[in-house]
Amino acid sequence: MAPDGKTVVSGSGDRMVRIWNISSNQRPQMLKGHSSDIGKVEISFDGKTIISRSYDEIKIWDLATGKLKVTLPNFSPMEIEIGDSILIEDNSPYFQTLTISPDGKTALVNLGSKFLAWDLATNQQKVLQTSWFNHFYSPRISLDGQTAVTTSYRTHLVSLHSPV
């Protein structure tokens, strides 16, 4: 729910983000753009931004206008041509959003073999852990945005603002 107490956002398997005004009987505003089911939708603490995530992408929207600001990751499609008959397309690394910080500024994601913090405003990434064999579960970011914790085969506690 937005700080105004009237606006709620939702997302679902139809790949749409909906902005609801619970004080009116109007239909929700619908935002189209996800390529798969939406798993989580949040409104930032300042009430200006919607952050939605599906399995393989994060979208950041302007709440007032409904306009899409950015999609992460923003991989360029990759094409590799071998001879005259073989073309390999879209060989981008595995990407999965795990959680978004309470202030809406940082996402914890798996990117290939890396567990990283992704600054949603600057698009900068900080590698927190690297492993081909670990899966990261139940990640959380502290309310002050300074610390992340996750479990895999062991618990990992990392500072989000220390040097790599």
pTM (global) more than 0.75: no
pLDDT, tens digit, for every residue of 123-155?
888 888 776 556 667 788 888 888 888 776 665
- Residue range 68-87, pLDDT digits in tens: 998 887 655 555 667 777 76
Q: Render pLDDT for 12-50 as a digit per residue (tens, 0 to 9).
A: 999 999 999 999 989 999 999 898 899 889 888 788 889
Q: What pLDDT is recorded for position 62?
A: 94
Averaged over 85-113, what is the pLDDT?
A: 73
Residues 6+ apart with CB under 8 A from 87: 79, 80, 81
pLDDT of residue 22: 93
